Structures are given as C-alpha cells and as structure tokens.
C-alpha cells in the first residue's frame, strides 16, 4: 500500500500502472491483481488507507479547552502530513480532477468527519449556516496549508500550526459579526 501511495502522490493516477506498483512494492503483478483487482481498486484502497490513517490521528485526546484541542489536533494532523506526505498528497491531490465516485466520497467523508469533530469539540449541536460555512472554510484552509507546506517547507511547523489556530479565531470573529450564536461561541472559546 505504501508503494501505491507514493506513486499516486508523485504521478497522475492515469500514469501509474499495476506493473509500476508491483515493481515498487517488490511484489508480482499477479499478486497485486489478486488483492486489488485493478488499478482503480488499488487507487481507492490506497486513498482509503490514507484517509483512515489521517482520521485516527485526529481523534481528540481530551482535557483541554476547545482551542487547545484544536491546536493539539493540528499538531497530530501535521505529524501525519510530515510522516505520510505521499498519502496526504494522494488523498488531496491525486485522482480524477472531478472528484466523483469513490474517490470523491473518500475525500468528502474525511472532511465531513473532521467538521463533526470540530463541531463537537466546540460544543455546538447544530451549527448555523454562518458557522457551518466558517468551519468548512477553515478545513479547506488547513488542507491547502498542508499541501503548501509540503511543497515549500519554508515556515516552521509550530509557527504554521499557531497561524492556523489564529485563523480559526479570526474567522470566528468575522462570523460573529454576522451571527449572534457565533459571537456567543467565540466568547466561550476565549
């Protein structure tokens, strides 16, 4: 699986063959076909593996304020990004450009679970449209920051993680100007 993730993260999925994966993994072509059926099934399995690894890192450890938990979650998120750069890049960059079918479901599933996790950590049962939009925007911001950091690595991780927590607070501050419930949430978080 690691060999597939590495290949899918550095080349377009269409440019990776089963032979490439088998060679990189030190396995026979027949064995790869036996376990995965074909390239699309292998690609989906590789993305599913990356998504599961990422989600397991994001489970809260408890004990801190919502912003402390957010900062802790970001550290674990960037631990994953750093340790599994190929899987992270494959999860967010690779595959069909239109993100339909199983690939889209995998990526969107991670985003939905991350959204619910943040929502629960903030003690929000049903987010308003303004809060929902704000949290989803922040998730996209974190994904983009992770990809940018992998490409450039010109900002220290702790500084980037702090910046992203500050982004959340700033986004909530803007949202609070448009939604009284978000204003109350922001007060509780501080």
Q: What distance in Å separates the CA atoms of residue 56 and residue 67, rounded to the nearest whole number? A: 19
pLDDT at 97: 47
Give the N- to C-terminal CA distance of the chain in Å, as an integer.
Answer: 42
Long-range contacts of 68-77 (CB under 8 A, 24+ apart): 69/121, 70/118, 70/121, 70/165, 70/168, 71/161, 71/162, 71/165, 73/117, 73/121, 74/142, 74/161, 74/164, 74/165, 75/161, 77/142, 77/146
pLDDT at 94: 52
**What is the percentage of the chain residues whose pLDDT exceeds 70?**
95
Report the length, in residues, of the chain. Answer: 190
Residue 108: pLDDT above 70? yes
Q: Where are the domains of the chain?
A: 1-46, 59-189
For domain 59-189, the CATH class is mainly alpha
Structural Rg of the chain based on CA atoms: 19
Tens digit of pLDDT for each residue in 45-98? 888 887 888 888 888 887 788 999 999 999 999 998 888 787 677 767 754 444
CATH domain 1-46 topology: Arc Repressor Mutant, subunit A (1.10.10)
Q: What distance in Å separates the CA atoms of residue 85 and residue 17, rounded to the nearest whole number? A: 21
pLDDT at 54: 83
Q: Compute the average pLDDT of residues 167-173.
A: 98
């Amino acid at each position: 699986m690691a060999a597939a993730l590495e290949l899918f993260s550095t080349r377009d999925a269409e440019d990776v063959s089963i032979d490439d994966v088998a060679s990189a993994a030190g396995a026979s072509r027949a064995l790869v076909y036996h376990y995965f059926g074909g390239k699309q099934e292998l690609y989906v399995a590789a993305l599913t593996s990356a998504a599961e690894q990422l989600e397991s890192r994001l489970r809260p450890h408890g004990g801190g304020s919502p912003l402390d938990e957010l900062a802790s979650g970001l550290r674990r998120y960037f631990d994953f990004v750093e340790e599994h750069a190929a899987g992270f890049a494959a999860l967010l960059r690779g595959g069909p450009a239109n993100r339909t079918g199983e690939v889209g479901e995998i990526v969107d599933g991670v985003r939905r679970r991350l959204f619910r996790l943040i929502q629960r950590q903030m003690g929000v049962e049903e987010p308003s449209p303004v809060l929902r939009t704000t949290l989803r925007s922040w998730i996209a911001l974190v994904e983009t920051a992770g990809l940018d950091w992998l490409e450039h690595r010109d900002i220290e991780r702790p500084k980037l993680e702090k910046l992203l927590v500050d982004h959340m607070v700033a986004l909530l501050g803007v949202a609070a100007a448009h939604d009284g419930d978000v204003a109350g949430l922001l007060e509780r978080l501080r």
